[in-house]
Structure 1
Amino acid sequence: MLFPLGVLGVASLGLAGWSAYAGRKAEEMVPADGQFVEVPGAHLHYVDIGPRDAPAIVMLHGLMGQLRNFSHSLSERLAADHRVILVDRPGWGHSTIDGPRPGIVAQAGMIAALIEQLELDTPLLVGHSMGGAVALALGLDRPELVRGLALIAPLSQPVGTVPKPFAGLLAPQPLRPAIAWLVAVPAGTMSGAKVAQAVFAPDPVPDDFATRGGGALSLRPKSYMAGSFEIRAAPAEMTALAARYASFRVPVAILYGRDDQVLDPQLNGAKTAAEIPGATIDRIAGGHMLPVSHAGETEAWLRRVLAGKPQATGGALTDSR
């Protein structure tokens, strides 16, 4: 009896050691790019580019992502004439948290504190995927802080079935730490390429996404912990948020890829646009990772939003050419 337990203990230590090593190597591959600011409950990492006196844009990444999801291909396009702030959401990338792990609404409060501390004058708030959910919460709770929301392939409704690429995050809370340290990183190392392909599909994964796009940071125990928490907390939080959409007071624009294989454009796009007064929706060719795979089209859409001239209205899912 003691021998098997000893073997199990040694194996567990070995796996935990490998996970810690892999996490350190990921952070060496994707070091912090910007600055840090303290807000209640978090130490946020952000990058601030572009003219300081230009109109501001704040960008929030999605599940298992970080701010380089935007800097890979998109943010520099906008920084010529806008102040662009990219944020590692609380607990992601190089941002850390103090105390309980924050859900969608709590994260929105932390991003609101960042906007206030940086003294940004009603920026356009851009949210991709789960970052779109955080943007929606901020727009509902602190509408005075933003000029509007631009949501790229957002999670905007309660979703009954977890998207297939993220099914491995469905760990019960008591088992989450053990899976994060003993299973998630070794398994992710072996399956990471296939998961990335599923998230990007039908678009190809850029060869430099692990580094320039920040993808390597998803292979850390802390990333698994954050992802598992968010994927389990999201349905209840999104149900509560969606019930408030009729009260929106800021403009909301939504962009989806016609071939998104992670989130349903009809549910999270058209349905949400129909529920939010004055919301607009457009779609282009592409999958879920539009800021990386279709940066030119995404920039063009964002510039139309900034100019107050999105193409589609009334919740109808139309095509942009």
Structure 2
Amino acid sequence: MIKKIAKTAGLGLALASGAATWKSNRNDAQAEADYPPIGAFINIDGTRVHYVIEGDGPPIVLIHGAGGNVRDFTFQLTGKLAKTHTVITFDRPGHGYTDTLHANGESPAEQAALLKAATDALGFPSAIVAGYSYGGAVAIAWALDFPKATDGLIVMNGVSNPWTLPPSKLYELAAGRLTGPIMATSLSAFAPESLVQDTMQSIFAPQPTPEGYLDYIGAGLTLRKTTLRANGKQVHTLLPHIEKQSLRYPSLTMPVEIIHGTEDKTIPPSIHADVLSKQLPYAVYTRVENVGHSVHHYAHDEILAAVARLTKS
């Protein structure tokens, strides 16, 4: 009887696993069909990088946050910046339609080197570099490793300094060798709409999610198995990179703009922007009142002003 029960349970688990995999594959394919690449591709040493270029003028590179893609910027911000600048927006490794570099979770420095090489190949040897959230860490790594090619640095709600409270346990699970494939497949297959809505609410609070944003951004792209795994590994392994990176901040000499929402609960300014502004006393620090983890949507005037200051520098 016990053997029969075990056999039946094993068959049930196998069927459930097969059903989850089938539904996950279907959802991933549907997300890519509904939200195809909106830019072009460039190959950097065998790694395919997806990018969007808009406008004309001095170049500025935009680097998105954890789980995001180029659409987070092209929703509104790039159109405004493109009136005066050439705006180059990249999908980071493992996000959107850019390949991963390896299976261990790319460091900010590795990502910066890839995107810098892509910018060079596109014909822009130097640029203003702007990063949002996790992308802020990548932008800072870019400025640290390529200072002569960084015309200015903008850190928007950016990760910049070590923290004590760990991020969501989901990142660790997604990064795990055993737990990662299971969790990524399960979320890709069965993530409820409420999860997407709650995530958006946490990003934009206390402001509302902008009208039309959810239809444009394509949450299904973030919920693909490959993106969940890549994002989980990058976030889970980020802290030691930030600890080492932050020791080098005094070497930054280019003009720096820090823009951070005062109500940001995801990347609290007290841990990141406030500290970074003291590490870089010459930086222009703009605290945006009544805005949370979404200055790239709710502080366009402040961002445009920062870009204008850097362009004049």
- TM-score, scaled relative to structure 1: 0.89
Matched-pair contact (CA < 8 Å) for 1:57–1:84: yes
Q: Pick which of 204-213 and 262-271 moved more.
A: 204-213
Q: 1:185 to 1:298 in 2, by over 3 A?
A: farther
Q: After TM superposition, give the deviation of residue 105 of structure 1 in Å.
A: 1.3
State how 1:274-313 maps to structure 2 within 5 Å. 274-276=278-280, 278-285=282-289, 286-308=291-313
Q: 1:64 to 1:270 in 2, by over 3 A?
A: same
Alignment of 1:169 with 2:171, yes or no, is yes
> For the residues of structure 1 that align with 2:187 and 2:74, how far apart are their CA atoms?
30
Equivalent in the alignment of 1:57: 60
State how 1:120-199 maps to structure 2 within 5 Å. 120-163=124-167, 166-171=168-173, 173-174=176-177, 175-183=179-187, 185-187=189-191, 189-199=193-203
Q: 1:301 to 1:148 in 2, by over 3 A?
A: closer
Q: 1:188 to 1:278 in 2, by over 3 A?
A: farther
Q: How many residues align?
A: 304
Q: 1:130 to 1:178 in 2, by over 3 A?
A: same
State how 1:222-241 maps to structure 2 within 5 Å. 222-241=226-245
> For the residues of structure 2 that align with 1:185 and 1:206, how far apart are their CA atoms?
26
Matched-pair contact (CA < 8 Å) for 1:73–1:295: no
Matched-pair contact (CA < 8 Å) for 2:28–2:188: no
- Which of the residues 68, 73, 78 maps onto 2:76? 73
Q: After TM superposition, give the deviation of residue 7 of structure 1 in Å.
A: 0.7
Q: After TM superposition, give the deviation of residue 299 of structure 1 in Å.
A: 2.5
- TM-score, scaled relative to structure 2: 0.91
> For the residues of structure 1 that align with 2:233 and 2:201, how far apart are their CA atoms?
23
SS at match of 1:253: strand
> For the residues of structure 2 that align with 1:98 and 1:265, how far apart are their CA atoms?
31
Q: After TM superposition, give the deviation of residue 273 of structure 1 in Å.
A: 1.7
Gaps of 5+ in 2: 1-5
Equivalent in the alignment of 1:317: none
Q: Pick which of 89-98 and 68-77 moved more.
A: 89-98
Superposition RMSD in Å: 1.8
Q: 1:186 to 1:281 in 2, by over 3 A?
A: same
> For the residues of structure 1 that align with 2:204 and 2:169, how far apart are their CA atoms?
16
SS at match of 1:139: helix
Gaps of 5+ in 1: 309-321
- Which of the residues 258, 264, 269 maps onto 1:265? 269
Matched-pair contact (CA < 8 Å) for 1:56–1:121: no
Report percent identity of matched pairs: 28
Q: After TM superposition, give the deviation of residue 98 of structure 1 in Å.
A: 4.4
Equivalent in the alignment of 2:3: none
Q: Pick which of 90-99 and 288-297 moved more.
A: 288-297
Q: Pick which of 87-96 and 268-277 moved more.
A: 268-277
> For the residues of structure 2 that align with 1:26 and 1:193, how far apart are their CA atoms?
17
